[in-house]
Amino acid sequence: MDLVLGVALWASPPCVKFPGLVVAALARRRLGAARRRRDGRAASSAATSADDGVGVDLTWREVSMTVRNGRTGMTRRVLDACSGSARAGRLVAVMGPSGAGKSSLLNALAGQVPESARVMLTGVLRANGADAGDGSGFRKAYVQQEDALYSMLTVRETLETAAKLGGSKDVKRTTETLLNDLGLAACADTRVGDAKTRGVSGGEKKRLALGVQLVGAPSVIFADEPTSGLDSFQAEKVMKTLSKLAKEHGKTVVCSIHQPRSSIVDLFDDLYLLADGRCAYFGPMSSARDWFEKSADVTIPNDVNVAEYLIDIVSIDATSAETTAETSKRIDRIVKAMASNPPALAEDDVSKGLSTASDALALTGKRVGFWGQFPLLLKRSWRQVTRDKATNKVRLLTSLNSAMVFGSIFWKMKLTQTAIQDRMGLLQVSAINAAMSALMKTLTSFTKEKVIVNRERASKAYGVLPYFTSKLVAELPVGAFFPLAFGACVYPMAGLHPTLGHFARFCTILTVESFSSSALGLAISSIAPSTEAAVAMGPAVMVLFIVFGGYYVNQDNVPIYFKWLNKCSLIKWAFQGLCVNEFQGLKFETKRPFDQKTGEDVLERLSFQDATPLSSLRQQGNILSFLYLLTLYLLDTNAPKFAVMQPPSV
Ligand SMILES: Nc1ncnc2c1ncn2[C@@H]1O[C@H](COP(=O)(O)OP(=O)(O)OP(=O)(O)O)[C@@H](O)[C@H]1O
């Protein structure tokens, strides 16, 4: 069947071949994924039963993570046989000096270590006694250090969307419960905001990010440095929220934290202290002072912040060789004491109340499918695009500005011989301008949006297809507006072919071209690791398209090995369409025998004599659909993948 389809696609015209190949590849991946899901369901059913919705006790043993340096080939042990537990109703703080492995441990327990051939993750993870090393077996929330939220949505809208996507049976109740529980009611109707637009405070953003995760009714909450970048007041509010989720809702909370103030330390139930990837203390926060004095021979002065003091104690002082050796020796001694004589864990006194408490946040039903996700994501994208007034204003002003500048340079062109070159110049710069502005906008915005989408997809909030299609539909009217505004301004100023039909075709060609260019931006952003990389790659590709855009190199003179580039150049198809639209039917003044008399002569010289505006648009449409399908494929294949914890070798 695959063979027949392959041959049929290969024999088909390019407009069918490329989209067809991408669709076939996507379909094959989907079938494979469905098969794997089917096979995996039976295996994981035992594990999922560990999360009965009334609290999860998580235990980990011998968790190690090694990272191989790609250049030197040397391996480094980031986590070294760490063991511990986090129990329902308790808040565990993972602390340690910078680089001690806090985030790595959190990622390992949350199943969020990015998959890589250079990273090796081993250990045993159990949820209520059942194996959970493959990341299944308990419902979890993972709140990362950097917030990734749609900036133009309000706090309430963000929670509502998450609740609807999560399949909440009572969206209003879910939203209100979360707003109240997280202390966000006062800013419910404030926009999230970003660097450009002021929105909610950093602490409110952190709690909102937590709220988005809570709609999945997680039993275990992992929070990576939830207080980073916050002032002490906001930091305390965030930590109080996490403590409340543990105490009142029976959640198991594990968070990494840097230098907490004393009032925050009082909220910790357990402390997991890391020193250079090894466990230096794991036990109740309240027993830490006693244990260090009795078992590790470390006296903690009465008037100090215990947490800060302990971090200093397990830090390597690299001032000199002597201090390095001395502090390393002290850390070895503490780690050994911990392994041989760990403190007693606190009595499990909270699990009795869990059953009723956790029900209050067990708000989800069945996740919605494509037709449920599509309108929700469409509404979200629409709000994000239309409410971003600052960006839209700048885009409009730059479009009008370019139109004014070009219009003034090419003011009311005549039908003289010299105006032929001017006409071609204007059409070429118009094509470049429309393509470049759409490309740059997409490169800068989509690389950021991709971060949010990858996170949401990692928590299986929705599929790539409803996301991508809804985004395209939402951006259609706004994306079309700017080339239209440009066209409406430059066309009469330059005195181009003065009929309504020609003007309409001019605007249509530029609009479709700007969508193609935006699609190119989407495809590049899908593979670029950062905004900076995307912004470097995009214009480099576009320059090639400009060179083969039909103006600088005549398409009949393009070397055979570059013909494909000529065919891929969205600038070329736009320029060709614009030229045919403009020159066909024009008559020029002639003075010399070799002057070009008609627009058809000009088109012949450009080798565009056989083209029509429609054929150019059709080719542009092919590029557009190919790039959309390519982006869809790239987003699907580049979905974040995480390392599975392997059992430790005995
Ligand atoms: N995937 C990786 N590739 C290379 N090095 C890594 C990787 N993951 C972690 N490391 C290294 O492991 C060490 C521990 O990193 P980790 O982020 O866990 O520390 P941390 O205690 O959270 O530090 P900080 O408090 O500064 O955020 C660091 O030196 C880091 O560079």
Identify the segments of the chain with pLDDT beneath 50. Answer: 1-13, 15-16, 18-19, 22, 26, 31, 33-52, 349-363
* The amino acid at 251: K
Which positions ≥6 away from 269 have C-beta within 8 Å?
A: 90, 91, 92, 246, 284, 285, 346
| Distance between Cα 103 and ligand 1 center (Å) | 7
DSSP state of 274: E
DSSP state of 570: H
Residue 512: alpha-carbon gap to chain centroid:
27
Q: Tell me what pLDDT residue 365 has.
A: 57
Distance CA 331, CA 172 (A): 52
Distance CA 407, CA 428 (A): 14
| Distance between Cα 78 and ligand 1 center (Å) | 7
Q: Tell me what pLDDT residue 640 has.
A: 81
Among protein residues, the one with the nearest Cα to ligand 1's atom 7 is: 67
Q: Tell me what pLDDT residue 35 has.
A: 47
CA distance readout (Å), 285 to 226, 249, 305, 308, 482: 19, 21, 12, 13, 59
Distance CA 51, CA 69 (A): 37
Nearest of 215, 348, 189, 335 to residue 276 by alpha carbon:
335
Distance CA 331, CA 337 (A): 10
Distance CA 449, CA 226 (A): 21
Q: Tell me what pLDDT residue 465 has.
A: 94
| Strand locations in 345-439 (E) | none
Distance CA 48, CA 132 (A): 9
List the structure tokens of 12.
């088909």
Nearest of 166, 89, 5 to residue 354 by alpha carbon:
89
User: Relative to the CA of 96, which ligand 1 atom is closest?
Assistant: 21
Residue 252 has phi, psi (to 5 degrees) of -95, 120
| Distance between Cα 80 and ligand 1 center (Å) | 13
Residue 225, phi-psi category: left (phi > 0), alpha (psi -120 to 50), beta (remainder)? left
Residue 237: alpha-carbon gap to chain centroid:
27
| Distance between Cα 67 and ligand 1 center (Å) | 10
User: Relative to the CA of 256, which ligand 1 atom is closest?
Assistant: 22
Specify the 3-state DSSP secondary structure of 419. helix
| Distance between Cα 450 and ligand 1 center (Å) | 23
| Distance between Cα 98 and ligand 1 center (Å) | 8
Residue 288, phi-psi category: left (phi > 0), alpha (psi -120 to 50), beta (remainder)? alpha
Among protein residues, the one with the nearest Cα to ligand 1's atom 29 is: 99
> Does this complex have an ipTM over 0.90?
yes
Q: Tell me what pLDDT residue 129 has.
A: 86
Q: Which domains does the chain have, with CATH numbers?
A: 87-101+218-359 (3.40.50), 370-637 (no CATH)
Among protein residues, the one with the nearest Cα to ligand 1's atom 24 is: 98
Q: Tell me what pLDDT residue 94 has.
A: 97
Residues having CB within 6 Å of any atom of ligand 1: 67, 78, 96, 98-104, 119, 258
Among protein residues, the one with the nearest Cα to ligand 1's atom 12 is: 78
Distance CA 72, CA 13 (A): 49
Strands 220-224 and 252-256: parallel
Distance CA 548, CA 607 (A): 13
Instruction: Give every strand in the sheet of 252-256, ordered side by side.
Output: 140-143, 220-224, 252-256, 91-95, 270-275, 278-284
| Distance between Cα 392 and ligand 1 center (Å) | 39
Which positions ≥6 away from 638 have C-beta within 8 Å?
A: 526, 527
Which positions ≥6 away from 363 have C-beta within 8 Å?
A: 163, 166, 168, 169, 170, 173, 174, 177, 215, 217
DSSP state of 147: -
User: Relative to the CA of 258, which ligand 1 atom is closest?
Assistant: 25
Among protein residues, the one with the nearest Cα to ligand 1's atom 11 is: 78
User: Relative to the CA of 105, which ligand 1 atom is closest?
Assistant: 18
Residue 153: alpha-carbon gap to chain centroid:
17
Rg of the Cα trace of the chain?
A: 31
Exposed/middle/buried for residue 570 (C-beta within 10 Å: 0-12, 13-18, 19+): buried
Distance CA 465, CA 150 (A): 19
